[in-house]
């Protein structure tokens, strides 16, 4: 049995135990670094959460299974269309797969669907970051389709995971980001389903219990 599993079985919760090695909603995300291919610069670089936090950025990590596959380029093209809007909201968008930065570069160059991709493409060849976010599939060595939103304080506030065969919708990511940004400035409020800027929000209190319809329709 591996050390990791052993420590879990025996219930030791010291820092390096696998029990603690997962990002959790509402909790601070551990610092991480990844090598990236940067299409804007046309070269390689590195991203680090700590540095992005210093810059006051929201970080949007978009995991996908593999370069040179079929649903993935459609998702990354969809994300590229929404990238300017996400940037305006203060987001650093980073796509992640277990491919190397070299494969990212080759794929971005070859696949015409990716012509507009301007966000950094991060490499997680060991699967370490994918494991931490709970999207690593040990049977294939690939990452599931996971989207994670980390706020400027480094707290995980959004998580969505799909299986390989269902692509995501970047419109919904933009909608959620608008709500996240709004709520950061209005912490007493809450955004109901399908909320868009300009629509009514809810201010939770005892007066609102059982009266949500009236609050949204008065």
- pLDDT class of 1 with cuts at 50, 70, 90: very low
Instruction: Please tell me the predicted confidence (pLDDT) of residue 171.
Output: 96
Q: How far apart are CA 189 and CA 165, in angstroms?
A: 36
Render pLDDT for 168-181 as a digit per residue (tens, 0 to 9). 999 999 999 999 99
Residues with catalytic annotation? 72
Classified as helix, coil or strand, 86 is helix
The conformational region for residue 142 under phi > 0 = left, psi -120 to 50 = alpha, else beta, is: beta
- Interval 52-75 mean pLDDT: 96
Indicate the pairing of strand 145-150 with strand 58-63: antiparallel
Render pLDDT for 137-192 as a digit per residue (tens, 0 to 9). 999 999 999 999 999 999 999 999 999 999 999 999 999 999 999 999 999 999 99
Question: Is the overall model pTM greater than 0.85, yes or no?
Answer: yes
Average model confidence (pLDDT) for the chain?
Answer: 90
- Long-range CB pairs of 167-175 (<8 Å, 24+ gap) are 167/71, 167/74, 167/75, 167/78, 168/62, 168/75, 168/78, 169/78, 170/75, 170/78, 170/79, 170/81, 170/82, 171/82, 173/60, 173/79, 173/82, 173/86, 173/147, 174/82, 174/85, 174/86, 174/89
The domains located in the chain, with CATH, are: 24-185 (3.40.30.10), 187-218 (no CATH)
């Amino acid at each position: 049995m591996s050390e990791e599993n052993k420590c879990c079985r025996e219930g030791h919760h010291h820092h390096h135990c696998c029990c603690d090695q997962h990002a959790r909603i509402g909790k601070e995300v551990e610092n991480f670094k990844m090598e990236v291919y940067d299409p804007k610069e046309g070269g390689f670089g590195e991203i680090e959460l700590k540095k992005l936090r210093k810059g006051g950025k929201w970080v949007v990590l978009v995991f996908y299974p593999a370069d040179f596959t079929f649903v993935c380029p459609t998702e990354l093209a969809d994300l590229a269309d929404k990238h300017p809007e996400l940037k305006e909201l203060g987001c650093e968008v980073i796509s992640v797969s277990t491919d190397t930065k070299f494969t990212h570069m080759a794929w971005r160059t070859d696949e015409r669907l990716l012509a507009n991709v301007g966000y950094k493409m991060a490499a997680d060849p060991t699967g370490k970051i994918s494991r931490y976010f709970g999207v690593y599939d040990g049977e294939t060595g690939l990452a599931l389709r996971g989207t994670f939103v980390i706020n400027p304080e480094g707290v995980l506030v959004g998580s969505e995971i799909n299986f390989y065969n269902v692509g995501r919708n970047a419109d919904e990511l933009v909608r959620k980001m608008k709500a996240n940004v709004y709520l950061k400035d209005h912490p007493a409020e809450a955004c109901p389903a399908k909320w868009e800027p300009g629509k009514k929000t809810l201010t939770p209190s005892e007066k609102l219990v059982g009266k949500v319809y009236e609050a949204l329709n008065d």
